[in-house]
Amino acid sequence: MPEFSADVPHTLGQAVAAEKLNGFVDGVRNRYKDQVSSVEGEWLDPHTLQFGLTSFGITISGRLEVEEEVVKIRGQLPFSALMFKGKIVTAIEEGLKRALS
């Protein structure tokens, strides 16, 4: 499967950024309820979120890691979503920026 990644810088520090992102999965579920049929997320530790979501039959999975000055997201897309990779990454970055503001 093709991979995607995004880095979103912040000035909050690791603990505050992680706290702000604690409800990120619920926020995605609520904000995109008409477009996303399934959203799952599990915090593996206080700074690492493993997630998966399905939108229009396309499942995306990955891991979000909160660091002191950046949130890194890495994941996999099915080949059927490869043509939408740029749009997906942009939407994720914008969502993270909103959640961290």
- 4-40 pLDDT tens trace: 999 999 999 999 999 999 888 888 888 888 888 888 9
pTM of the predicted model as reported, rounded to 2 decimal places: 0.87
CATH class of 3-100: alpha beta
- 31-76 pLDDT tens trace: 888 888 888 999 999 999 999 989 888 899 999 999 999 999 999 9
CB of 64 within 8 A of CB of 46? no
Helix axes 24-31, 85-100, angle to 10 degrees: 120
Q: Where are the domains of the chain?
A: 3-100
